[in-house]
Amino acid sequence: MDTQVVSRSSKSFFLPNLNSASNLNQENVGEVEGKVKTKFLSMWNNMKYELNSVGMKLKPNFSKESPVWLLGMCYRKLESPNESTELGTDIAAFQSQSDINTSEDEGLEGFKKDFTSKLWLTYRREFPILNGSTYSSDCGWGCMIRSGQMLIAQALVLHFLGREWRYSPENRETGVYHRKIIKWFGDKPSRNSPLSLHSLVKIGKGLGKKPGDWYGPGLVAHLFRQAFKDASIDNFEFDTIHVYVAQNCTVYIRDIFDECMDQATNRWKSLILLIPVRLGAEKFNPIYSPCLTTLLSIKECIGVIGGRPKHSLYFIGYQDDKLIHLDPHYCQDVVDVWAPDFPLTSFHCRSPRKLAISKIDPSCCIGFYCRTKEDFLTLIETIQPIVVPPNGAGYYPMFTFCDGFSCDAEYTENDFSASELEYLNCNVDIDDIGSEPFEIV
């Protein structure tokens, strides 16, 4: 991956002439300071990112023996009588397989193609200034929004291209929707890019957030719910998809039936189900480790956004006790996605990474995609035993399904603390509240 190189000729940019700066008006001074800050932040983030990047290959911390799960697909090493099972043997015996979904790709190439096909949405710089601010980059604060964009992008890929789709620059047939999906996330204030950083930050203002603020996973889920409603006005493709955000770790089934059924056409809208959860108090509770990894192995799962404190990541799979993720912290130049045949390489990552599940922040958001009503009913049946911790007597499930409407839920002051009631009333991000409803400890 290309790295940022700063030449001597850039010195004048970083150290502007003080006499010249003194002649600038206050607005221009602020603009120069903002550019300098953006430049340093992007260099710093890219340096940290590159320290761990070794190109597209299985790093030493990827076991050649253990299966690798990637959003419902399992890549495992197959043994044959003529092969040794020692770590030093050829790894070409990897094959993609799953009890739920299969792939025609075999060997290590199957995993590589699957991973690199995921859309990678990262920090960008030099995009149009966010309204009401001086920000032309989200470097240092937009990582949770970028993680959320990747989660939603995966749902859109499933909806329009399918799980078997693989990125190929030569494939013009599927490339049309591939590019269209990327355009919807383009970094510009446009109705044709309804899922852009600009659109999401604009929605965030209505929830008390301003450009430069850090967003939690719960709030990001609500941003996308509203973004899809707004997008359906100008983009007919969004009429066929509904985003539902669980309330207080509860999915109300009747609400989804009502909201996903298009009354005008009597057709079911495909469902993107987002469930904000908190799996621990101050840190992640390991009792939920098998629950989380098992969820990543079912075909309806589109991933998890979370990460480390103030450092968001997009989790898409696991191997042993480590989660595989895409990292949004690499800062890249903005791409004009409305230019003909715009370059695609910066939207796909070639470096798989892992993080010990014990190190993740307890606050996260789990996503699922269900194309049909039958898929949703199957998901309910599949998930309910998974979200209960094994041998975890006395622990709450990660989340629950309720066969009813959210408006029928009766809450009293005896059921919740003051801060929990505040959450129920204002329905904002769980990270902004001192105590979360149904906190799992």
Backbone phi and psi for residue 345, each to the nearest 5 degrees, phi listed first: -60, -35
The length of the chain, given as a count of residues: 441
> Which is nearest to 343 in space by CA: 182, 155, 171, 152?
182
Those residues with Cβ within 8 angstroms of residue 356's Cβ, 6 or more apart along the chain or in another chain:
321, 322, 323
- Give pTM, 2 decimals: 0.79
**89, amino acid identity:** T
Residue 149 and residue 159: Cα distance in Å, rounded?
15
Summarised one tens digit per residue, pLDDT across range 352-407 is 999 999 999 999 999 999 999 999 999 999 999 999 998 766 788 999 999 989 88
pLDDT for 110: 83
| CA–CA gap between residue 338 and residue 192 (Å, rounded) | 10
- Whether the CB-CB separation of 147 and 305 falls below 8 Å is answered with yes
Residue 263, number of CB atoms within 10 A of its CB:
7
Three-class secondary structure of residue 323 per DSSP: strand
Instruction: Give how far Cα 8 sits from Cα of 11, 12, 35, 322, 339, Å.
Output: 5, 8, 18, 42, 32
348 is catalytic: no
SS3 402: strand
Residue with tokens 């470096």: 351
**CA distance linking residue 367 with residue 296, whole number of Å:** 10
Active-site residue, selected from the candidate residues 74, 143, 260, 365: 143
Query: How deeply is 9 buried, as exposed, middle or buried, from its count of CB atoms within 10 A (0-12, 13-18, 19+)?
Result: exposed
Burial of 200 (0-12, 13-18, 19+ CB in 10 A): buried
**Pure H helices in 25-107:** 26-51
Based on the residue annotation, tell me whether 327 is a catalytic residue of this protein. Answer: yes
- Give the DSSP H/E element, type plus range, for residue 96: strand 94-97
Six token digits for residue 424: 């129920």
Q: Residue type at 250?
A: T
Q: Six-digit token pair at 257?
A: 């039936």
Query: In this predicted model, what pLDDT tens digit does every residue of 28-84 receive, in sequence order?
Result: 555 555 555 555 565 555 555 555 444 444 454 677 788 899 999 999 765 554 443
By DSSP bridging, strand 241-245 and strand 270-278 are: parallel
Output the pLDDT for position 113: 92
Among 327, 361, 429, 431, the one annotated catalytic: 327
Mapping DSSP to helix (H, G, I), strand (E, B) and coil, where does residue 48 land?
Answer: helix
Q: Which residues pair with 181 in a beta bridge?
A: none
DSSP state of 431: G
- pLDDT of amino acid 226: 98
Closest to 217 in 3D by CA, of 178, 180, 188, 246: 246
Residue-level pLDDT at 274: 99
Tell me which of 74, 325, 329, 349 is the catalytic residue.
Answer: 329
E strands present in 246-389: 250-252, 261-262, 267-268, 270-278, 301-308, 311-319, 322-326, 332-333, 353-356, 363-370
Q: Would you call 329 a catalytic residue per the annotation?
A: yes
Tell which residue, 294, 345, 390, has the closest CA to residue 99.
Answer: 294
Low-confidence ranges of the chain (pLDDT < 70): 1-61, 77-108, 392-393, 410-441
